[in-house]
Amino acid sequence: MRLVGLLLSLVALTAEAAVEPAGLAMLAEQQQVPLAELQAAVASARLRQEVLDTISRPWEAKPWHRYRPLFVTPDRIRDGLQFWQHHAATLARAEQTYRVPASLIVAIIGIETFYGRQMGSHPVLDSLYTLGFHYPERSDFFAKEFAQLVLLAKEEGWQLDTLKGSYAGAMGMGQFMPSSYRHYAVDFDGDGKRDLFANPADAIGSVANYFASHQWRWGEAVVEPAQIGLMAVDPLLRREPELTQQWSELAAAGIELATPLAPQTPVKLLAFDQADGPEYWVARHNFYVITRYNRSPLYAMAVYQLSQAIQEAYASSSQTPPAQPELVAGRLQ
C-alpha cells in the first residue's frame, strides 16, 4: 500500500510540474483571473486518467444509425412530455421572452442530462484541469474554461472542489461550460440565484437565453430531407458547421426539397449514415444555431428529431400546446 501511495504521489507531482508557471501567468492575464487564485485552483486539482480515456472515444464518433438510438428514445420522448407538462407555464414564458420553442428547450435538457437526472459525477475542477493542461489537442479551450471556472465559483460563492459535472467540465441541467454559465445563465424565477443544478426554471430560461443570444430565428425551418438526383453530391459535403453554401449551388447538383428556397438562401448539405447507405438533408440557419451548443451535426440532428417527437406528443396530449407556428414535416419552427 505504501508503494501504491508513493506512486500516486509521484504521478500527482509530475502532473503539477507540467503546468508551466509562465503559461499559467499568461492564462491569468488573458482571462483576468488573479494569478494567486489560479495557482490555488491548480494546486487543488487532480489529474484524472479516466477523463482522458473518455474524451478519446466520444459518442459523436459513432455513425448516425448507432448514435440516434442513444438519444431519440421512447423513454426520452415520454419523460420530455412530462417535463413540458410539469413546467408548461415556465416554458411558455421562456418562449414569449426569448422567442425560442419550448420543444427545443426540452429536447436540449433531455439529451444533455435526461431532464436533470444525469448531470455528471466528475469533479469539474479536476476535469478542466486534466483537459486544460494535459490534453494538447484542445488544451487552449479547456485551460480557458478552467480559468472561467475559477471566476464563476467566486462570483456564485461556490466551493471549487464540490462541483460535479461531465468529464468535459459541463455543469447543470443544460450542461453549460463555465464560460457559458457566466454569460448565458439567468435567474429566471427571480430568487436571486442562477442555479442550473437544482432549479428547472433557471435551466429553462438559461437554455432559451443561449439560443436567443446565438440568433435563433423563430418561425424558420431547421433542416429538411433532401432528394438526391443522379449527380454525385459528396463533393458538396463540408466539415465546418457554418453555412458556406447557397441553395442555388445544391439545386444545380440536382438536389430537391419539398419547400422552395430562394437561390441565395444559406444552406449546408448533410449526410447521415444509415445501415443501408447515406441519408441526405439540407441544413438551414437554425440548424447551425444548434451546433453552437455542440458542434456535432449528429448532436444537432438528434436534438431536432427529439424536439419534433416531443412536440408531437405534447400536441396529442390532453393539454393545449402553447401558441407557436405549426409543426410540419421536416421543420421545427
**Which grid cell is 310?**
416531443
Question: Which letter, b or e, does each residue of 14-24 get, where b requires 16 or more Cβ atoms within 10 Å of its Cβ?
Answer: ebeeebeeeeb
Spatial neighbors of 286 by CB under 8 A, at least 6 apart, are 216, 217, 220, 221, 222, 332
Residue by residue, DSSP assigns 163-208 as -EE-TTS-BTTTTB-HHHHHHH---TT-SS---TTT-HHHHHHHHH
Tell me if 292 sits within 8 A of 242, measured CB to CB: no
Kind and range of the H or E run holding 44: helix 35-44
Element (H, E) at 225: strand 223-225
Give the distance from CA 196 to its chain's centroid.
Answer: 14
Nearest to 179 by CA among 201, 200, 210: 210
Residue 112 bears catalytic tag: yes
Question: What is the dihedral sign for C-alpha 133, 134, 140, 146?
Answer: negative
Sheet with 245-246: strands ordered across: 223-225, 277-283, 266-274, 245-246
Q: Read off the C-alpha cell for 73.
A: 428514445
Burial 43-58 (b: 16+ CB within 10 A, else e): eebbbbeebeeebeee
DSSP letters spanning 240-252: SSS--EEHHHHHH
Cell of 254: 440536382
What's the Rg (C-alpha) of the chain? 22
Cα distance between the two ends of the chain: 60
Residue of 29, 95, 112, 249 marked active site: 112
- The residues assigned a catalytic role are 112
